[in-house]
């Protein structure tokens, strides 16, 4: 899948560098953006909650990021 994605649906990161899709399957999966990306994601999530796009009992953003970090750690083979 990573090879197919890089050949046919390649995207660039916010800093315009090519995304290394192989890293996602080789222990480098990153689900949580850093810096400005994290703030933009938090703002977008808040707008989705406010607009009713998510359930009324939507998980708080910080809790969601903790769950994403756990998923990434497990996918990357970390012992957590």
pTM given for the model: 0.73
> Cα dist. 19→26, 37, 71 in Å?
14, 15, 20
Instruction: For residues 47-60, give the mean pLDDT.
Output: 91
In this prediction, residue 62 carries a pLDDT of 97
The rounded Cα 58 to chain-centroid distance in angstroms is 17
Q: What is the mean pLDDT of residues 23-41?
A: 90
Q: Tell me, what's the pLDDT at 39?
A: 95
């Amino acid at each position: 899948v990573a090879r197919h994605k890089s050949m046919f649906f390649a995207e660039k990161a916010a800093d315009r560098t090519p995304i290394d899709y192989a890293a996602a399957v080789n222990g480098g999966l990153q689900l949580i953006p850093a810096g400005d990306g994290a703030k933009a994601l938090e703002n977008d999530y808040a707008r989705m909650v406010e607009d009713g796009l998510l359930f009324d009992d939507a998980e708080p953003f910080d809790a969601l990021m903790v769950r994403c970090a756990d998923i990434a750690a497990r996918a990357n083979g970390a012992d957590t």
